[in-house]
Structure 1
Amino acid sequence: MFDISPAEWTAILLSLRVAVIATLVATPFGIALAWLLARRDFWGKSVLDAVVHLPLVLPPVVTGYLLLLTFGRKGLVGGFLAEYLGIVFSFRWTGAALACGIMSFPLLVRPMRLSIEAIDRRLEQAAETLGAAPWKVFFTVTLPLALPGVLAGMVLGFAKAIGEFGATITFVSNIPGETQTISSAIYSLIQTPDGDAAAGRLVIVSVILALGALISAEWFARRATQRLHGN
């Protein structure tokens, strides 16, 4: 039951690779957007907030299809990238990372935004009064105080990326060794005779990874609360 085959290890390692890349690439954008939503008021803010959270409520297949139309070889963006830069997302592991990054982005941004909103703005104003430039205030005051929330968002985004299925399989298909993640491997195995044992092993791995991520996110969230309230 617990003898994981090379093909299963390939799916597990590919899932980890995709999730790590998706999280690392999405994090700077998530921090910037979280700060913008937390610290600035502007026309269309509610619309931007809705767009950020749209992947949570859209059917994942819809998101995957939109990615295919946009980043496919004949898509609006994908065609340009493939022809002039040689960058291809569709039916590649990089496309899986893109799909996972977009699907996990709302869960990544939310804790970051809440963490920044909880920071006492007087601390930032004090730094500005002492002559610190806005960028320096952000990197020396805002970001260090919001760091536990940032890490919590990264962990939640990573967990979501590990379990993503609908958008990924729609955009990059289910190619063993290239785009077959844990979720798509389980999907294939449950449709294969005598595949229940292998599917069960991958399910156990998925549960362990998800529980680990959720426990870590909760710990970081508590650290953020303690740090902001001085407990």
Structure 2
Amino acid sequence: MTAEDTRLILFTLGVSAAAVVAALPLGLALGWCLARKQWPGKALVETLVMLPMVVPPVVTGLVLLKLFGKKGPFGGLLEQWGVEVIFTWKAVVLSLAIMAFPLLLRCIRTAFEEVPRHLEEAAATLGKTPWQVFTRVSIPLARRGIAAGIVLGFARALGEFGATMMVAGLIPGVTETIPLAIYRSFHAGDDERVWMLAGVSAAIAFIALWMAGRLTKGRSL
């Protein structure tokens, strides 16, 4: 393994972790709202946020490219502030966060649904504010499911290819992640590097899935 490969692996791990961190606050808020509240448009919102799980990743990437490109509604606004997203590491984090979010949200929602309502109601009757109930009761009781969602979201981000290619491009040393490097090495005929990176990717994914399985089963690690 060369220094370039080490840097590539560390970069992939870093942007995947950043993507999950970026998606987590919205995942917690929306997951709780979906699990505990009834509101107009709930089914529509749930369907929209789950779309990246079923549509081709390149379609998601194309939408992000239109939204965050220089002529897009978000990209144009960010450009006025001097922030460029497309074809930078920020685009990598953005695409990974969007693709990991549905899996993260599903686990978080399920975790909140399994929290006994009477415990939250008891805390409220004792004078706790909704925020205190959420942070001191709901989240601690749902922590294993939330942790499983974080791990699975991280694993999903690690393997993302299509959306990342669309919005970040394949720029070695700048936006290239392990899946993109595998693609580039395969077309360059570097089979040894292809299999090495594939093995690293599979090993990380295996560990993530094992951890998620242990968490969802409620066993100690």
Q: Which of the five TM-score ranges fits, normalised by the shorter chain? A: over 0.9
Look up the match of 2:66.
69
The reply on whether 1:134 has 2:130 as its aligned counterpart is yes
Letter in 2 for 1:36: C
The reply on whether 1:210 has 2:205 as its aligned counterpart is yes
Deviation, 1:73, is: 2.0
The reply on whether 1:158 has 2:148 as its aligned counterpart is no
The reply on whether 1:125 has 2:83 as its aligned counterpart is no
1:108-138 CA-to-partner distances (Å, cap 9, x unmatched) read 0111100100111000111111111111111
The reply on whether 1:175 has 2:164 as its aligned counterpart is no
Residues matched between the structures, number:
220
Could you say what secondary structure the match of 2:217 adopts?
helix
CA distance, structure 2, for counterparts of residue 11 and residue 174 of structure 1: 12
Which runs of structure 2 are paired with 1:8-19 in the superposition (5 Å)?
A: 8-19=5-16
Letter in 2 for 1:199: V
Look up the match of 1:7.
4
1:47-74 CA-to-partner distances (Å, cap 9, x unmatched) read 1110111000111001001111001122
Deviation, 1:88, is: 1.3
Letter in 2 for 1:44: G
Q: TM-score, normalised by structure 1?
A: 0.93
Letter in 1 for 2:72: G
CA distance, structure 1, for counterparts of residue 101 and residue 170 of structure 2: 22
The reply on whether 1:198 has 2:163 as its aligned counterpart is no
CA distance, structure 1, for counterparts of residue 78 and residue 55 of structure 2: 26
How large is the Cα RMSD of the aligned pairs?
1.2
CA distance, structure 2, for counterparts of residue 5 and residue 104 of structure 1: 29
Which runs of structure 2 are paired with 1:102-113 in the superposition (5 Å)?
A: 102-113=98-109
Which of 43, 47, 52 aligns to 2:44? It is 47
Look up the match of 2:35.
38
Q: Which runs of 5+ in 2 are unaligned?
A: none
Look up the match of 1:97.
93
Deviation, 1:8, is: 1.8
Letter in 2 for 1:124: E
Could you say what secondary structure the match of 1:19 adopts?
helix
1:2-54 CA-to-partner distances (Å, cap 9, x unmatched) read xx122222221111111010011111110001001000001111111101110
Identity %: 44
CA distance, structure 2, for counterparts of residue 212 and residue 89 of structure 1: 31
Could you say what secondary structure the match of 1:188 adopts?
helix
The reply on whether 1:146 has 2:145 as its aligned counterpart is no
1:177-230 CA-to-partner distances (Å, cap 9, x unmatched) read 11000000000001013x00001000000000100110111111122xx79xxx
Q: Which runs of 5+ in 1 are unaligned?
A: none
Q: TM-score, normalised by structure 2?
A: 0.97
Could you say what secondary structure the match of 1:190 adopts?
helix
Superposition misfits of 4+ residues, deviation over 6 angstroms: none
